[in-house]
Structure 1
């Protein structure tokens, strides 16, 4: 499925992800965590389809459960004691709740970063920061491209080694270790050569020189202006509400949060609208496309 939000200006994309990722790391209110996690996973699935579903089920769900279980085993704070462990330490309701919240926050942030990597391509990042911090922007661009390129090259090298009987599945234990070290050595050499080639290529093109201009197809139009103003306004309202304790929630020594009111409910609604913005934009663009087709 084509993602309409990815077609917006890089400023809009970057502004959105800066807000949702920071808010996901800061706001520990259960309602905020639930909102952010639901829409992060939904948008990830919208971007990557079955691949994202598999990633959430086989990686994120076990990580969520493991993180939620580990915290109560080491954190014994809280006043609501449910039982006592064999070590004599108490198992508290607050430590369990905080473990679940921390696990949800961790999974949510990873999901948002997965969406960020799919939407904020390297050319968008260089467009935004290439003139301000050219070296750092090139470095981040290379890092963002590194993981998929590394996986693809590792598959090529592993397949080539397997053809000559030198992969990780051939021979005894020591032979497999030797083959693994050889593959690792090949990959390290490839990484260094690739980094040098990229740096030399960008240097030969005058990247980072003063006064250098770069070709770009990005244009900040009326649609982008409306989206940027809307996201910035909602973000400022959420920040203002958080500073006014409208999203306050604590886990220790006892769980306590802000009382539900029109103000707190409006903050939750604003946060939901912000997190759901890409999905709402995709739905709106899809509806416009269907209406235009029906008029033909």
Structure 2
């Protein structure tokens, strides 16, 4: 992954950002906030992973969101505003339709945000953040984060090796392909078990988890991190104040009701919008900076 500017900030800044955006998306069923969250997550994931993220968001997440919205309309019939009836007599309500759409948007946003989280919060950042508090748990969690890409790469190596001797799962009849596939799986499981034992012995030899053990860290909370922390704190304070006075209130059942968007509400929505789009803003600023430096050479 190319080093996105937000990736280079201190892990505490990274974890606070993702905690705020994911928590806000889950617990505030406000249409404007959900649209902002989904838009920011979509753009940031594409910025981080390019076409791979675009394919995932459109081919997998979009159908999942449509399915989630449809399921709510089919099985939830609460609400006072009836739009029509199914053939079995169950009502189709505006409230169930709105709740289904917003729930689908929330699910999609959270999943995409977590995909961005996995790109930004690396295993060394997890150990740095939680290693002293929960050494064993943080180690296990950091190992889990790298299991899928590591195993995917290793099974590719094993498959290529077996292919070189004519034993991959694309060679021979159906029975031979199945046998070759099981052989590759057996080799993969053996390697995984050996790798687990080696990792355990390595960490034990290094004294991981022992009382008083010190650890090396490359992370330093510098002036740039302090500036972003202050800015993020100010934005969160404005947003929290707006939340406290009910500017983001939105109710669906029994009827749809919300606090109307007025001029006094705009600063509060701007604050959460800037928070959602913060990594993208930092990336754009970095791109402009590099273009300016290149043109000056």
Write out per-residue CA displacement over residues 56-89 of structure 1, whole angstroms, 9 at most, x where no aligned residue: 1111111111111111111111112122112221
The 2-side partners of 1:192 and 1:243 are apart by 52
Q: CA deviation at 1:294?
A: 3.2
| Residue 95 of structure 2 is aligned to residue 85 of structure 1 | no
| Residue 288 of structure 2 is aligned to residue 287 of structure 1 | yes
Alignment match, 1:107: 108
Q: Which structure 2 residues correspond to residues 180-191 of structure 1 after superposition, within 5 A?
A: 186-191=187-192
The 1-side partners of 2:232 and 2:171 are apart by 51
The 1-side partners of 2:212 and 2:61 are apart by 45
Alignment match, 2:169: 167
2:167–2:180 Cα contact (<8 Å) kept: no
The 2-side partners of 1:83 and 1:257 are apart by 24
1:85–1:91 Cα contact (<8 Å) kept: yes
Which of 236-245 and 74-83 deviates more?
Answer: 236-245
Q: TM-score, normalised by structure 2?
A: 0.90
| Residue 56 of structure 2 is aligned to residue 55 of structure 1 | yes
Write out per-residue CA displacement over residues 198-244 of structure 1, whole angstroms, 9 at most, x where no aligned residue: 22211111112222222222211111001112112222332332233
The 1-side partners of 2:29 and 2:92 are apart by 21
Which of 16-25 and 184-193 deviates more?
Answer: 184-193
1:15–1:228 Cα contact (<8 Å) kept: no
Alignment match, 1:207: 208
Alignment match, 1:228: 229
Q: Which runs of 5+ in 1 are unaligned?
A: none
The 2-side partners of 1:88 and 1:186 are apart by 57
Alignment match, 1:237: 238
User: How large is the RMSD of aligned CA atoms in angstroms?
Assistant: 2.3
Which of 136-145 and 162-171 deviates more?
Answer: 162-171
The 1-side partners of 2:158 and 2:98 are apart by 45
The alignment partner of 2:52 has SS state of: helix
The alignment partner of 2:265 has SS state of: helix
The 1-side partners of 2:86 and 2:251 are apart by 24
Q: TM-score, normalised by structure 1?
A: 0.90
Q: CA deviation at 1:264?
A: 2.6
Alignment match, 2:12: 11
Distance 1:88 1:168, change over 3 A: farther
The 1-side partners of 2:251 and 2:183 are apart by 51
Write out per-residue CA displacement over residues 93-131 of structure 1, whole angstroms, 9 at most, x where no aligned residue: 211111111111111011111111111111111112112
The 1-side partners of 2:178 and 2:244 are apart by 54
Q: CA deviation at 1:164?
A: 4.9
Q: Which runs of 5+ in 2 are unaligned?
A: none
Aligned residue pairs, count: 295
The 2-side partners of 1:56 and 1:32 are apart by 19
The 1-side partners of 2:249 and 2:181 are apart by 50
Which of 33-42 and 200-209 deviates more?
Answer: 200-209
The 2-side partners of 1:236 and 1:182 are apart by 58
